[in-house]
Copies of this chain bind each other. A is one copy, B any other.
Amino acid sequence: MAEEVILLDFSPSPFAMKARIALREKGVHFDLREEEILSNKSPLLLQMNPVHKKIPVLIHNGKPVCESNIIVQYIDETWGPESPLLPSDPYERACARFWADYVDKKIFPAGQAAWLSTGEDQEAAKKEFIKGFKTLNGCSIEEECPKLVGWAKRCMQRESVAKSLPDQHKVYDLMSEFRKKLQAQ
């Protein structure tokens, strides 16, 4: 039986990017379906992720997997054992999971707050965002976090990553529009 793999996606989402990269690292052919997440969620999304109603959702032969880090682990455990996404050693695997969790809990919320707030709140959120990156870097973005920037540059040389990231100008325009909508409310 041919496998059916569908990814309910929203191109600017960093959570969806993780799922795209993981599928491409494993060489899995998939049907990418862009959701109108800000205005008009599809009936398929609401049916497949009734709890959170969020992308990304991976649908494998009709069965949904939700939450980006859980999707990445599912992909890793289901396809291509010859190209593992996580280290083979349980301790190193725990460390990789810790930092993935850290980005979701600390970096993403601070970045979102810095983008969507104004004035003093925005200044505080920016500081929190930079502090988050400094921790991730392990010491003290180009100048402040050189190890992290080096790692990101090496990632961008991989086809799985380059193909999975949206154009930065498009993301900027879309997020600007989203911010205006929120501030008009």
Q: Which residues of A contact B (CB under 8 A)?
A: 51, 60, 63, 65-67, 70-71, 73-74, 77-78, 90-91, 93-94, 97-98, 101-102, 135
The answer on a CB contact under 8 Å between B90 and A77 is yes
A98-B66, A98-B67 as given contacts; A78 in contact with B51, CB under 8 Å: no
Q: Could you write out 19 A-B pairs with CB less than 8 Å apart?
A: A51-B102, A51-B135, A60-B91, A63-B91, A65-B91, A65-B98, A67-B97, A67-B98, A67-B101, A70-B98, A71-B94, A73-B93, A73-B97, A74-B90, A74-B91, A74-B93, A74-B94, A77-B93, A78-B90
Q: Is the interface of A mostly helix, strand, loop or mixed?
A: helix
- Since A51-B102, A67-B97, A70-B94 are in contact, a sample of 11 more A-B pairs with Cβ atoms closer than 8 Å, ordered by chain A residue number, is A65-B91, A65-B94, A66-B98, A67-B98, A70-B97, A70-B101, A71-B94, A73-B93, A74-B90, A74-B93, A74-B94
A91-B65 Cα distance, complex, nearest whole Å: 8
Minimum CB–CB distance from A98 to chain B (whole Å) comes to: 6
Minimum CB–CB distance from A19 to chain B (whole Å) comes to: 12
